[in-house]
Amino acid sequence: MAESFRLEEAPRETQVLFSHADADTRFGASVFWVRRGILPESDMGEFLDFWQTRRDGDKRGIVEVIA
């Protein structure tokens, strides 16, 4: 998300997507999000690789949403 993103300002109907537990319960999806600038761009690949790797070592798909 953009550095200026504020969850409390997001449309109410989308806020469930920013809670991992709620998104999992409602949509069966694991949602992890990060604001731009929190991680150096050089670390983003490592961040994505970590969250893409399942406990059994297989990879799950990752979707990037650009709005």
Q: Is 47 exposed, middle or buried (0-12, 13-18, 19+ CB in 10 A)?
A: middle
The answer to which of 1-10, 38-47, 55-64 has the lowest mean pLDDT is 38-47
Q: How many domains does the chain have?
A: 1
Which residue would you say has higher pLDDT here, 67 or 44?
A: 44
> Does the pLDDT value for residue 26 go beyond 90?
yes
pLDDT value for 67: 64
- Retrieve residue 65's tokens: 């949403």
The range of the structural domain enclosing residue 22 comes to 1-67
For the entire predicted model, the pTM comes to 0.60
